[in-house]
Amino acid sequence: MKLKLLITLLSFVLVLNAQNQANYDESKIPDYTLPDPLVLLSGQKVKTSEIWEQERRPEILSLFEEQVYGKIPGELDITSYEILEESQDAFNGKAIRKQVKLTFEKQDKKLDVNLLVCLPKNVKKAPLFLAYNFGGNQTVVDDKEVLVSEVWLQKQANAKDENKLEPEQSRGKGKSRWPVEKIIDAGYGLATMYYEEIDPDKNDFSDGIHPFFYTENQTRPADNEWGAISAWAWGLTKAMDYLEKDEAVDKSKIIVMGHSRLGKTALWAGAQDQRFAMVISNNSGCGGASLSRRRIGESISEMNKNFPHWCCKNFDSYNNNEDALPVDQHLLIALIAPRPIYIASAEEDQWADPKGEFLSALNATPVYHLYGKKGLETDIFPDVNQPIQHTIGYHVRTGKHDVTEYDWEQFIKFADLNLK
Ligand code: GCU
C-alpha cells in the first residue's frame, strides 16, 4: 500500500516537473512541414470533396487508427438497456431526467455504463450535448436522485483513506463545469457518463472494455489496437447508438463535447463517427487539437511516458520523432469536415499549446473550403475572449485549464449558429 502511494506521488511530481521543464519558447520551435490535407499519399492533389471523401479521408482515418489511437478490434453492440429512473420534474421543473443503464455482454463478461440524460421539457425533440464526466454522474449536478455507479463505489473502496469520498460528499462536486440549467434554457439536452465505466484511466488493460476482444491468453491490445482514448471514443459511439433510439432526442443534432483527455476523446469519436453533428474540444492539447510538430508545452514523448495507456503502442515510435508522423492533429480536425467543430483554449493552459490548437484549426480550413464552408478565415491569433465562429470555431479565454460558464456560452452560441 505504501509503495502504491509512493508511486502515485512520484508520478504526480514527475508530471508537474515535466510541465515546468517543457519548452514554451516559440523561437525554439524547429522548422517543420505539416502533411498537406489535400495531397494523397500517392502525391496526387485532392481537388473535390468527392476525392476527399473517397480517398484522402479514409487514408487519414486509417493512419490515425494504426499509428495514433489504435484500431477497435471488433464489433460489439449494446446487449440491452434499462431506464433505471425517469422524472418529468427535474431542474426546477424545467427538465426531464432519465438515467439509463447500457449493458454490454460477451461470453462471461459484462460491463454496465450509466448515462444521465437531461432534456428540456419544452422542446419536442431536443438537440443535445453528449460529454463524459471525470468524477461520476452524481458530481455533475446537485441532485439527490442521480444514481451513483458501482464503478465509482469500487474506485472509492480502493482509494487511499485521505482521498476517499462518500457518495453524498461527491454530489455536485464538479458542477462548475456543467451549467445544466443554462443548457436546458437554451433548448439543448445534456447526456453524460462517467468515463471510467468504459475503461478505468490507468495503465492496465485487464479491466474495462479491452478484454472483451481478447483472444485466448491475450493480455493487452496489439501494437496497432486501441488504447484508452479509442476505448472511450467507442463508448461515445455506443451512447450515440442509444440516443438515436430515444424519441425525445433530435438524433440529427447530437454534439459530442469533451475537456482535456476527454477532449482528445471527443475529437477522435467525432472524426470516426459521422453521426455526430458537431464536435467540441475544450483544452484538449497534445494528442487532441494541438499540433505535435510545434513541440510546445506537452510533447508526444511526455504524454506517452506519463499516460502510456492512452494511445496505441505504435504511437511510441514518434517520441521525439514528430517529423516522422504521417499525420498531425490538423488532420484530425479535417476528418470532422464539413461538420462544425469548435476548439476552445485557455490562456494559462500553455501545457496544451493554445496557439498550436489555433493552427490546427487554421490548417484544417482548406478541407472546409472544399465544401464551400468557412473555416477560421484568419491566420491572426485572436485576443483573449474574442471567439471566432464560422463552421470552425475557436477561442482562447482568460484563465486556466478548466471548463467554465464562458466556454459553455460560446458552445451554445456556436451550436445555435450552426445547427438551429
Ligand atoms: C494532463 C495531460 C494532458 C491532459 C490532462 C487532462 O495534464 O498531460 O494531456 O489533457 O492531463 O486530461 O486533464
Contact present, 220 and 203 (Cβ < 8 Å):
no
Q: What is the pLDDT of residue 13?
A: 72
Which atom of ligand 1 is the closest one to the Cα of 284?
10
Q: Determine which residue's CA is closest to atom 13 belonging to ligand 1.
A: 260
Contact present, 234 and 209 (Cβ < 8 Å):
yes
Indicate the top mutation candidate among 261, 262, 303, 353 to test ligand 1's pocket, ranked by most ligand atoms within 8 A of CB: 261
Which atom of ligand 1 is the closest one to the Cα of 18?
8
Q: Count Cβ atoms within 10 A of the Cβ of residue 180 and give its class: 0-12 exposed, 13-18 middle, 19 or more buried.
A: buried
Indicate the top mutation candidate among 177, 351, 353, 402 to test ligand 1's pocket, ranked by most ligand atoms within 8 A of CB: 351
Contact present, 190 and 180 (Cβ < 8 Å):
yes
Which atom of ligand 1 is the closest one to the Cα of 15?
8
Ligand 1 centroid to Cα of residue 146, in Å, is 27
List, by residue number, the catalytic residues: 260, 401
Give the side-chain half-sphere CA count within 13 A for 70.
Answer: 29
Q: What is the pLDDT of residue 347?
A: 98
Give the side-chain half-sphere CA count within 13 A for 132.
Answer: 33
Ligand 1 centroid to Cα of residue 331, in Å, is 21
Ligand 1 centroid to Cα of residue 225, in Å, is 21
Q: Determine which residue's CA is closest to atom 8 belonging to ligand 1.
A: 303
Q: Which residue ranges in the chain fall short of pLDDT 50?
A: 1
Q: Report in angstroms the alpha-carbon separations of 92 from 96, 184, 395.
A: 10, 11, 32
Ligand 1 centroid to Cα of residue 203, in Å, is 15
- Under DSSP, is residue 395 helix (H, G, I), strand (E, B) or coil? strand
Nearest partner of 70 among 168, 198, 179, 210, judged by Cα:
210
How far apart, in whole angstroms, are the C-alpha atoms of residue 260 and residue 281? 8
Q: Report in angstroms the alpha-carbon separations of 179 from 12, 90, 189, 412.
A: 30, 14, 12, 11
Ligand 1 centroid to Cα of residue 288, in Å, is 10
Q: Determine which residue's CA is closest to atom 12 belonging to ligand 1.
A: 261
Contact present, 202 and 214 (Cβ < 8 Å):
no
* Start-to-end CA span in the chain (Å): 53
Indicate the top mutation candidate among 298, 299, 402 to test ligand 1's pocket, ranked by most ligand atoms within 8 A of CB: 298
E-strand ranges in 121-245 read 126-133, 189-194
Q: What is the pLDDT of residue 15?
A: 72
What residues line ligand 1, using a CB cutoff of 6 Å? Answer: 260-261, 285-286, 298, 303, 351
> What is residue 36's DSSP assignment?
P
- Angle at CA 335, nearest 5°, toward 133 and 348? 50
Contact present, 283 and 259 (Cβ < 8 Å):
yes
Ligand 1 centroid to Cα of residue 33, in Å, is 26
Helix 228-243 × helix 261-272 angle, to 10°: 60
Q: What is the pLDDT of residue 18?
A: 81
How far apart, in whole angstroms, are the C-alpha atoms of residue 108 and residue 327? 39
How far apart, in whole angstroms, are the C-alpha atoms of residue 235 and residue 214? 18
